[in-house]
Homo-oligomer: A and B are copies of this chain.
Amino acid sequence: MSADQLSVYEAIRQRRDVRAEFTGEVIDDETLMRLLTAAHQAPSVGNSQPWDFVIVREPDTLRRFADHVADMRVAFRESLPADRAATFDPIKIEGIVESGTGIVVTHDDSRGGPQVLGRASVPETGVYSTVLAIQNLWLAATAEQVGVGWVSFYDPEILRELVGLPAGIKPIAWLCVGPVDHFQEVPDLERFGWRSGRPLAAAIHHERFGANTDSGEPN
* A interface residues, Cβ below 8 angstroms from B: 3-13, 15, 17, 34, 36-38, 40-43, 45-49, 51-58, 61, 72, 75-76, 79-80, 84, 88, 91, 93, 104, 106, 112, 115, 117-122, 124-125, 127-128, 131-132, 134-136, 138-140, 142-143, 150, 152-156, 163-166, 169, 172-173, 187, 189-190, 194-198, 200, 203-211
Please, how many angstroms separate the alpha-carbon atoms of A200 and B72 in the complex?
Answer: 33
Please state if A152 and B125 are interface contacts (CB–CB under 8 Å).
yes
Cα A40 to Cα B72 in complex, Å, equals: 29
A69 to chain B, nearest CB (A): 10
B195 touches A43 (CB 8 A): no
A163 touches B209 (CB 8 A): yes
Q: Give chain B nearest CB distance to A29 CB in angstroms.
A: 11
Given known A-B contacts A138-B43, A152-B121, A56 and B207 have beta carbons under 8 A apart: yes
